[in-house]
Structure 1
Amino acid sequence: MADNGLLIGIDFGTGSSKGVLVRPNGEMVAQEAREHRTSNPRPGFFEHDAEDVWWHDFTSIVEALLAKADGPIVGVCTSGIGPCQLPADADGQPLRPAILYGVDTRAYKEVAELTEKYGDDEVVRRCGNSLTAQSQGAKWLWLVRNQPWIYEKTRYFFMSHTFTVFRLTGEYVLDHLSASMCEPMYSPAARDWIPEWCEDVAPGLPLPRLMYSNQVAGHITPEGARRTGLPEGIPVAVGTIDAFSEALSVGVKDPGQIMLMYGSTIVADLITERAVPHPALWSLTGTYENTFSLAGGLSASGALTTWLRDIVGGVEYAVLTEEAEEVAPGSNGLLALPYFAGERTPISDPHARGVIAGLTLSTTRGELYRALLEATAFGTRHLLQSMAEAGAAGKRCVAVGGGTKGGVWTQIMSDVCGIEQDLPKYAIGAAYGDALLAAQVAGLADESTNWAQIAHTVRPNPDNKQIYDDLFGHYLDLYPATKDLQHHLSGLHPG
């Protein structure tokens, strides 16, 4: 490949897709973004229309990037929210909207049933994780039972990035990391599917070929070139779930490094030397061969700030941030649980609900806003504490995502968690990591390549340690104290 070739990386997010055009040295040539709609047809159901969201955004972004290209495109890679489930027919056409990641909690009955059937200890031993709202095996069983007319026609199992790979190359693949989130279907120890459990939850389903994220899934076919304008024959990387591609984008790839992603949800990805099975976390095969990840995620973080902004009349985030910055640590006696969309890790409770304790008639929106930011930080501390208890504490943290802008949220996070956070000079996102993977399949980079530059480091303020340590203890107490009530109120929610 020519050294002047260009790489395209595209990431499909919950509310928007982003694409980048990058040179092999990491220099940004162009960026594009497209907003899209996430459907919430019933409480606990979250979906994307694969044609109108994933494929439309991909082709639209590619068209715009090609118009800005000053050289040939030599490699492509995509990533996206995940794990997701898109059933497709024998022609690869979607049969229904894609069922999204752990924020979609429709399969909670199947999670409980399969856990009882196999035993949680055995699931953790073989899969590295307990069954949760993330688990794709449980969602396949849900589909078998609730939409059998769809399942009978299903011949392909796509996630957002592999749907695009199929459209471009005709290859049916899935990366090992994404497969790690398909409990109880995949074994990280064996690096392969578990045939008998696959047959239990998805009888007769043809499963994708397993590969690593930086391997060549295939090459763009004449049909793929016709539909997108991309050059025929160039390599397409397998890709992966967005958070883990974003980790690569900021150089988080070696054991002991942790990526903390601030977005609609928070995800923490710790690179480990070995598989670390844990019932409350995600023990995963890594993006690269012979690597592993111990990860976890909150169900709602930035989504909480959007919720508050909307109910107070669409006030600008900058105004809310300024008001929160003027509020003392501890939000003048407010303490919140961020479980507005249930919770993924470490409590794994789809029926958990948000709690705001300590409200008074004098509570301001700035105090509420800060309390919600603090809630996400307490949730992250709980997650990092669980990682440390598993014997996998991180040595260095790199923070990424839109929530790192403005300063107040990252400072609260460092104060609550007691961690330093390196902030990259360019927090471009998962699409930038996709471009790096595209460079690798094009032969213009390798696994040691690091495009990241660190701009500054956020350090914890020791003056705030005592109050946050005290509130964190009460945060841990608040969930079990209100769990039964949360579950009862969850059952009263319409739908």
Structure 2
Amino acid sequence: MPSILSLDLGTSSVRAQVFGPEAEERTPARRDYAGENDPARIVDLVREVLKEATTESYDAAGTSSFGHSLLAIDAAGRPLTEILSWRNTRSADAADWLLRRLDNAAVHARTGCHIHTSYWPAKLAWLAQEQPEVFRSAKRFVSFCDYLYAQLLGREVATGISIASASGLVDLQTRTWDEELLDTLGLDAELLPEISAAPVEGWYPALLDGACSNFGAGCLTRERAALMVGTSGAIRTVHEAERPQPREGLFLHWVDDTRVVEGGSLSDGGNLHAWLEQTLKDTSGSLADRDPSSHGLTFLALLGGERSPGWHQHAKGAVQGLTFETTPLDLRQAALEGVAFRFAEVADLMPGIDEIVATGGALVEDPEWVQIMADVLGRPVTTSAVREASLRGAAVVVLERLGVEPGPAPLGPVVHPRADRADAFREAGERQRRLYEVVTSELTS
């Protein structure tokens, strides 16, 4: 039976493990690189974890990778830029430039992606405007994972449809680079990677980490969603689609020949949790006996800008209701609730969901946050017992390609919403919507 080397390139760390045919987890090799945008540095760390993880043989390899990243490469395959990630919002004005020239709704309908700083079109427009010499001299524009494969394998490689589709530059129906966007950007398709599902020397094309998380946690139908909070956050389903039709406010990307990943993403997640710990003096204390009426705050969790569902790239966070009596614990609670309320807005756009599985270390390692999610969503939340869903998911996909069906993803306890808190959370949700409307109306007026 085959064994699979799995690599998980996250926003702030890389992990690797060799999985057996049942895709059972062990402690993976890991290196952290929070805030790192130097491609060479991350390649070095990847080589370290691969060396540590491959003390045994393997038959094939798969990768889960953070999406939407962009690198300009010269003729020798060397980076001309740092990694331009989804967190890089310098292209907001370039995105506005595109919005004045293109029909955003039509672009979303074709590509499954909005015109936004997260995606390639805005990054490429920014690069052309702010670093024109780099833009003109680039031999290729690639995702970081494709650059990594080239470094590991010693040759240029194609990109997979999963990573390409998540760039915001692929037509969902033709599965090719979108012609209108290329024309608007003044970009030749020859400067973009070939799109292929073929493995190279046993390495299968990287997949979007969000999709891999669903595979790893066993969320593979329209009815079963993965609610993930890692560095950022997302709620997603993976399901089959013959002719995918993006829904308003949501992203939709191809995973492979027959399946798509659909959902909404938040820029505030575990990074907000870390910000609270770094910024506030002391947030210790239990939230178990508290609800939104305990603090009177409305925390609009848009510190990293907005992605789903409104995609306001200039949005900023806000807190309403501060007094001299407000405590660090109040702010922590309100912030965690604020993220949950953003998830609720996305979940309302996905009415077919019957079951929610919580994944991601920032969430499942904080039972109080899981309880808040259940209270805000008004439905049970099942915690995943998979520690590294994206890492496991990359292995599951390769096993599937090899004709092997691994065992089911293990699940943890189910957390139910507290009926006696329902009114307080409902009222707090209304305050969230009103504050959101005030903040975003200033951006559209």
Amino acid at match of 2:82: P
Q: Deviations over 1:150-203 (max 9, x none)?
A: 1223222222322222223424322223322333x3111222222343243252
- Show the counterpart of 2:68: 83
Pairing 1:153-168 to 2, within 5 Å after superposition: 153-168=137-152
Q: Deviations over 1:191-219 (max 9, x none)?
A: 222234324325235222223xxx44311
**Alpha carbons of structure 1 residues 158 and 267: separation in structure 2 relative to 1, 3 Å:** same
- Show the counterpart of 2:323: 360
Tell me the distance in 2 between the aligned counterparts of 1:199 and 1:458: 50
Conserved 8 A contact 2:227-2:235 = yes
Conserved 8 A contact 1:20-1:435 = no
Amino acid at match of 1:375: G
TM-score by length of 1: 0.83
Pairing 1:244-283 to 2, within 5 Å after superposition: 244-274=211-241, 275-283=244-252
Query: Tell me, which stretches of 5 or more residues in structure 1 are unaligned?
Result: 40-47, 220-234, 489-495
Conserved 8 A contact 2:64-2:390 = yes
- Show the counterpart of 2:39: 50
Pairing 1:230-249 to 2, within 5 Å after superposition: 235-249=202-216
Q: Deviations over 1:100-140 (max 9, x none)?
A: 01x22222222222222222232233223331222211211
TM-score by length of 2: 0.92
**Alpha carbons of structure 1 residues 330 and 201: separation in structure 2 relative to 1, 3 Å:** farther
Name the % identity: 22
**Alpha carbons of structure 1 residues 331 and 100: separation in structure 2 relative to 1, 3 Å:** farther
Pairing 1:28-107 to 2, within 5 Å after superposition: 28-38=25-35, 48-53=37-42, 55-67=43-55, 69=56, 72-101=57-86, 103-107=87-91
Q: Deviations over 1:1-58 (max 9, x none)?
A: xx2x53221212222212222112112344111111415xxxxxxxx111102x1121
Tell me the distance in 1 between the aligned counterparts of 2:72 and 2:438: 40
Tell me the distance in 2 between the aligned counterparts of 1:182 and 1:202: 17
**Alpha carbons of structure 1 residues 485 and 186: separation in structure 2 relative to 1, 3 Å:** closer
Conserved 8 A contact 1:257-1:397 = yes
**Alpha carbons of structure 1 residues 91 and 331: separation in structure 2 relative to 1, 3 Å:** farther
Amino acid at match of 1:14: T
Moved over 4 A (4+): 484-488
Instruction: Please report how far the alpha carbon of residue 236 of structure 1 lies from its aligned counterpart in structure 2 after TM superposition.
Output: 0.5
Pairing 1:59-458 to 2, within 5 Å after superposition: 59-67=47-55, 69=56, 72-101=57-86, 103-169=87-153, 170-183=155-168, 185-201=169-185, 203-204=187-188, 205-211=190-196, 215-219=197-201, 235-274=202-241, 275-285=244-254, 287-313=255-281, 320=284, 322-388=285-351, 393-402=352-361, 403-441=363-401, 443=402, 445=404, 449-458=406-415
Conserved 8 A contact 1:79-1:434 = yes
Amino acid at match of 1:61: V
Tell me the distance in 2 between the aligned counterparts of 1:56 and 1:159: 17
Query: Tell me, which stretches of 5 or more residues in structure 2 are unaligned?
Result: none
Instruction: Please report how far the alpha carbon of residue 372 of structure 1 lies from its aligned counterpart in structure 2 after TM superposition.
Output: 0.6
Conserved 8 A contact 1:173-1:217 = no
Give RMSD over aligned pairs.
2.2
Conserved 8 A contact 1:134-1:181 = no
Instruction: Please report how far the alpha carbon of residue 405 of structure 1 lies from its aligned counterpart in structure 2 after TM superposition.
Output: 1.4
Tell me the distance in 1 between the aligned counterparts of 2:360 and 2:183: 38
Conserved 8 A contact 1:270-1:295 = yes
SS in 1 for 2:305: coil
1:475 matches 2:432: yes
SS in 2 for 1:324: coil
Instruction: Please report how far the alpha carbon of residue 337 of structure 1 lies from its aligned counterpart in structure 2 after TM superposition.
Output: 0.1
